[in-house]
Structure 1
């Protein structure tokens, strides 16, 4: 296909505007985005030659295939031209992370990795510290997560917080650096327990000089950078120097330090002197799911690993396969098709290292494009060496990472299989359609209070065979008789569904991706569970009838005899007889899981609200002139916020520190 001619006529008709947009694309690097008729983003891709890459989607026949179905949904095209393919790689993965396209292989945007920081808070903030012992003169070992700066030393990243804390413990044993906060450091008058157990050198009370402490900091930095052989040699020379000077006590201390260091190094079975900084990436694909296991080596030490599970593996790989050979020069031989493992690994590398700086060495469990590594080098501005089929120590690292990837994926498939079986069992028990169960949406409500105080209602959501905690909502119930559970249930249902309008059908949606609700906004679920018996279900039925919603999907979970788990009965709002599923029923296990989660979420919210009410923090804190001491005196005198609210101006003024004017202000504010 020449640059001047539009794409050949595709097998399926596409909008003329789309084909004209493809024909008008330039032969430059950039990022393209496909949208469907509803404006939903389908796919994001990058190209070093936009015209050839995008044209490859419309110049081939995909009749009767899954690829054809996906390409057939494209109605609109957008593109962005950039200066280089490295910039296109960064922009592509930023868009994938922010927009979550339907057909890209998606890795969850992980949180920032933890670091080990060596420095003081005073030095980092730039504020001088008071007192004889200056914290900035004695850098502190600490766990850190966030943006790094040049005023402290940072080591990492580490795969998890446990690895950071373990490293801090090792450094305490060998180098005895402080871990206390700067405020604690400044106000110490005698050594702490860590000094007594030989985990700190006591700089806060002047038990170590600034020069000696700085030398320990330098040694710790060398250890974290993997310079263990040089460090051991330096310690041995220092011990001999002390011995020649007849300073036997100091020589003995250095000897003990050498022994502790040797013990630490013996515990590091994966210690390696050749590769100081490396990431090991193993990949496993099975049952339509994939796992990428990332193991980290920093300073020559193996610090642990972390699994990643991408979404949309099959669809993303299929649509990406259309691109194969799309940008090859005329007459050039095409590379063989990529394996699914390679596509998943390339997607992870592109998305992960667009945010985190790659180390100099990548040990890979599947071959990836050399072009991708070149783009990483351009984006990171340092040399990166990628190794596939490694040998010796690198092979041991990869085998360990691969084994962990296999185990993590097997665990995920087992859990998902069990959860999907529970969802299907519930659908069968309630006569729900069994097609499209991954889109089955269940919402469950519960009400919690403490003898009528701090009434709180919860709504939890189950969708895609798992609880969707980001969609949970709590509702503070007000304006009802304390302890009236029926009124509380009526209020929460009206607040949840009152603005949605009549629901035509609460059955499982037709096949095809269902639109996600706007953040914070409800949509009609397929099944509504009520934690309660016939009374609560009756109230819920009235609300649904008032809203014009179908009551056939409204089910109460009634506790059985003795309120024992496994004896629950399901109560139907449409008049069907109660059913008892049995203690060993997979359907009941799922119902109990959702009900218990709703109860937990309501209970924690109620307790937090009750604590705020009893301490008065939600109202007294907002009154000018009422600080912590006066607030505590008021609550202690009157036994809580209710007593303060009921008190007269004279009663309030009788409290120490409360003037008549302030008492009048408090009286008005609480009413």
Structure 2
């Protein structure tokens, strides 16, 4: 019996027969929409007519697919010139729309790089994330910030390159601590010539590009030349550098010679999709990173791998070799597309031997441990939520929680924070800070009222989610203000509690204030629900303090220069960038001030007189 069926109109009124009749056979990307206009699914196809028809011409047997098709109200396609362009557009649209039936990466942060600057005479080694606009050599991407900092530390030990800010570098009169601990050659005070420093920079670039043997051979030649010239100090320094490079090389040979490759392993368990990526460059293991992509129920692990790799390598150049388990769906198409994008051949391998097999097995073991820990963590979160609901007498566990806190120093630069936890886990993309103004300094009640008003006006306008549980860091007074504010805004259906630290202010003795209750609720110190309250409250406190300190620091940095007549914000910023801070500006002489771009001799004298007349 055939499973072929005649396409029928969906519950939304969408008629697949008439739509498929006119659909093109060109390559491209298709988008399925529901009745509200939200994107349900984004897919790519070598042949749009053939691929889209496959959804409707036979029963899929997949509950996820059947559920999605019941909601389809419209399908739109974008025709592309090539299959590669379709793959690229699909990844871009998934990242943009995050459709509920697609696999997509939750973490969309740009990846860290190591930058050796090229816009000054003495380049510096810096951690970089974001657009690569600054002139210099970029190396990466690295799997984590820790891997960048480890590599940066290696370069400073081997080549003693500086990592200090330019404003700090340009205003040194003596070497800093990095010189004392032999991590820098102190170019800021002329302890090394430009030529010798440039040679160290070139050596570092060779190492990062994987040309270790060439670098070591040249350093051996330099050491022998120095020894013949009886320059034993230089020869000894080169000998130590060569020994360190040999140790680094022996470690890389254990990984895989001088090759570049990634190891990508994926699995799905308990409804959670997980991917581990190990990065090896120049034979050096740069570490691994774990990902937990959004994977709809019923997703096949091969589809998970394919979706992850197409998005992961969207903005980074893939290495020539990828050890993959399991092979992604449409692996040949994906490999060819990644290869054309990287302008070199990219190969997928699953069956490998010797060292490659050992590394693939280790990555599989890492994936299993990562997935096990994530499952255990999820079980712990569910236990916390259930305990919290029971302790507070809620009908159901609160899946969306928000907590507010206020921070200031004697009323100065008051900042309110709002942190959001969804399903018991922090969602930092929804954190918000509110700079409070127009109130009496130190009035926490007025600050809380202003922050809640600003937040819940957005909720009322449909611009934000209504929380199931609202936590206020404070006692009965703060809770009363919160309840009054919500009533004034006609906000209903929100459970509100106040969290106070208790008389001794020790963890575990928190008092939970409920609206209308005469006495506070005290949960057991070992209550998982109380632990969740503590975590949310502490996170709101941390976020508020960080915002307050940032605002206070900006205000105090600018305040010393605000009184200089005729000195505007642009020139104030230039002075602070050049000298590193207001105290350094105050100590500068007239000639030093006049060398700053935009500062005339008259203005330099005025700045100097301002600080010395008020000293």
TM-score range, shorter chain: 0.7 to 0.9
8 Å CA contact 1:265, 1:271 repeated in 2: no
- Equivalent residue, structure 2, for 1:601: 543
Q: Distance in 1 between matches of 2:528 and 2:507?
A: 14
- Equivalent residue, structure 1, for 2:109: 111
Q: Distance in 2 between matches of 1:175 and 1:555?
A: 57
- Give 1:500 deviation, angstroms: 5.2
3-state SS of the aligned residue for 2:381? helix
- Equivalent residue, structure 2, for 1:225: 209
Match runs of 1:231-246 below 5 Å: 231-240=215-224
- Give 1:141 deviation, angstroms: 4.2
8 Å CA contact 1:569, 1:580 repeated in 2: yes
Q: Distance in 1 between matches of 2:473 and 2:250?
A: 56
- Equivalent residue, structure 2, for 1:351: 311
3-state SS of the aligned residue for 2:254? coil
Q: Distance in 1 between matches of 2:473 and 2:133?
A: 51
Aligned match for 2:513, one of 568, 571, 574: 571
Aligned match for 1:36, one of 34, 37, 49: 34
Q: Distance in 1 between matches of 2:152 and 2:582?
A: 40
TM-score by length of 1: 0.74
3-state SS of the aligned residue for 1:26? coil
**Unaligned residue ranges in structure 1 (runs of 5+):** 1-5, 123-134, 318-339, 502-516, 637-654, 659-671
Does 2:353 correspond to 1:391?
yes
3-state SS of the aligned residue for 1:345? helix
- Give 1:478 deviation, angstroms: 4.4
Q: Distance in 2 between matches of 1:613 and 1:234?
A: 52
User: Against the structure 1 CA distance between its residues 348 and 626, is the aligned structure 2 distance closer, same or farther, given a 3 Å change threshold?
Assistant: closer
- Equivalent residue, structure 2, for 1:98: 96
- Equivalent residue, structure 2, for 1:407: 369
Please identify the structure whose Cα radius of gyration is greater: 1
3-state SS of the aligned residue for 1:72? helix
Q: Deviations over 1:469-514 (max 9, x none)?
A: 332333344455554444444444333335655xxxxxxxxxxxxx
8 Å CA contact 1:530, 1:556 repeated in 2: yes
- Equivalent residue, structure 2, for 1:642: none
Q: Deviations over 1:312-362 (max 9, x none)?
A: 3435x2xxxxxxxxxxxxxxxxxxxxxx33222111111011211111111
3-state SS of the aligned residue for 1:462? strand
8 Å CA contact 2:558, 2:582 repeated in 1: no
3-state SS of the aligned residue for 1:121? coil
TM-score by length of 2: 0.80
Q: Deviations over 1:452-473 (max 9, x none)?
A: 5544433332223212233233
- Equivalent residue, structure 1, for 2:401: 442
Q: Distance in 2 between matches of 1:365 and 1:193?
A: 47
- Give 1:167 deviation, angstroms: 2.9
Match runs of 1:486-525 below 5 Å: 486-498=445-457, 521-525=463-467
Aligned match for 1:15, one of 5, 13, 16: 13
**Unaligned residue ranges in structure 2 (runs of 5+):** 576-580, 587-606, 611-615
Q: Distance in 1 between matches of 2:413 and 2:521?
A: 33
Q: Distance in 1 between matches of 2:291 and 2:44?
A: 23
User: Against the structure 1 CA distance between its residues 233 and 441, is the aligned structure 2 distance closer, same or farther, given a 3 Å change threshold?
Assistant: closer
- Equivalent residue, structure 2, for 1:80: 78
- Equivalent residue, structure 2, for 1:463: 422
User: Against the structure 1 CA distance between its residues 63 and 280, is the aligned structure 2 distance closer, same or farther, given a 3 Å change threshold?
Assistant: closer
User: Against the structure 1 CA distance between its residues 365 and 535, is the aligned structure 2 distance closer, same or farther, given a 3 Å change threshold?
Assistant: same
Does 2:400 correspond to 1:416?
no
Count residues with an aligned counterpart: 574
3-state SS of the aligned residue for 2:256? coil
- Equivalent residue, structure 1, for 2:287: 304
C-alpha RMSD of matched pairs (Å): 4.0
Q: Distance in 1 between matches of 2:194 and 2:457?
A: 68
User: Against the structure 1 CA distance between its residues 98 and 12, is the aligned structure 2 distance closer, same or farther, given a 3 Å change threshold?
Assistant: closer
User: Against the structure 1 CA distance between its residues 550 and 395, is the aligned structure 2 distance closer, same or farther, given a 3 Å change threshold?
Assistant: same
8 Å CA contact 2:253, 2:283 repeated in 1: no
Q: Deviations over 1:547-593 (max 9, x none)?
A: 44437723333443434332333333255875332111122222222
Q: Distance in 2 between matches of 1:7 and 1:618?
A: 78
Q: Distance in 2 between matches of 1:395 and 1:177?
A: 37
Aligned match for 1:288, one of 271, 275, 281: 271
- Give 1:526 deviation, angstroms: 1.9
3-state SS of the aligned residue for 2:297? helix
Does 2:259 correspond to 1:259?
no
- Equivalent residue, structure 2, for 1:51: 49
3-state SS of the aligned residue for 2:71? coil
User: Against the structure 1 CA distance between its residues 499 and 619, is the aligned structure 2 distance closer, same or farther, given a 3 Å change threshold?
Assistant: farther
User: Against the structure 1 CA distance between its residues 575 and 19, is the aligned structure 2 distance closer, same or farther, given a 3 Å change threshold?
Assistant: farther
Q: Distance in 1 between matches of 2:133 and 2:459?
A: 49
User: Against the structure 1 CA distance between its residues 234 and 432, is the aligned structure 2 distance closer, same or farther, given a 3 Å change threshold?
Assistant: same
3-state SS of the aligned residue for 1:108? coil
